[in-house]
């Protein structure tokens, strides 16, 4: 199951992309209430958005982005039917990618 949900809508030449990702986004500062030990940092570090193979935007994230993170951005030059691809990587070396058609 993809950990990324994408909603992209083109209107008046501008495409608004909204994406929601499933990720614990642990800062590495939180302590486990049962063991008292610090929960290791486990958060998305980079997100990239591609349109027709071109990287349109990249984001660098720290642990201070909320759990199950949300991101929205806007760009020009796309049309309904085009594909938008969102990819994330985290500090543990895991990653995921998903694609959606612009509506």
| Residues of the shown chain interacting with other proteins in the complex, contacts defined by CB under 8 A | 1, 3, 5, 7, 14, 18-20, 22, 24, 27, 29, 45-46, 48, 50-51, 54-77, 87, 89, 93-97
CB of residue 32 vs other proteins: minimum separation in angstroms?
14
Q: What is the C-alpha to C-alpha distance for residues 45 and 50, in angstroms, rounded to an integer?
A: 17
CB of residue 36 vs other proteins: minimum separation in angstroms?
19
Judge whether 5 and 18 are in contact, CB under 8 Å: no
Q: Provide φ and ψ at 18, rounded to 5°.
A: -120, 135
Judge whether 75 and 86 are in contact, CB under 8 Å: no
* CB nearer other proteins, residue 70 or residue 101: 70
């Amino acid at each position: 199951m993809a950990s990324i949900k994408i909603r992209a809508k083109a209107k008046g030449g501008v495409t608004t992309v909204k994406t929601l990702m499933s990720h614990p986004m642990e800062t590495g500062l939180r302590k486990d209430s049962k063991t008292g030990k610090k929960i290791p940092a486990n958060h998305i570090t980079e997100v990239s958005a591609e349109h027709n193979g071109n990287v349109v935007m990249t984001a660098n994230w720290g642990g201070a982005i909320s759990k199950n993170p949300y991101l929205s951005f806007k760009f020009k030059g796309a049309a309904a039917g085009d594909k938008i691809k969102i990819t994330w990587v985290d500090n543990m070396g895991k990653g995921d990618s998903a694609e959606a058609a612009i509506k």
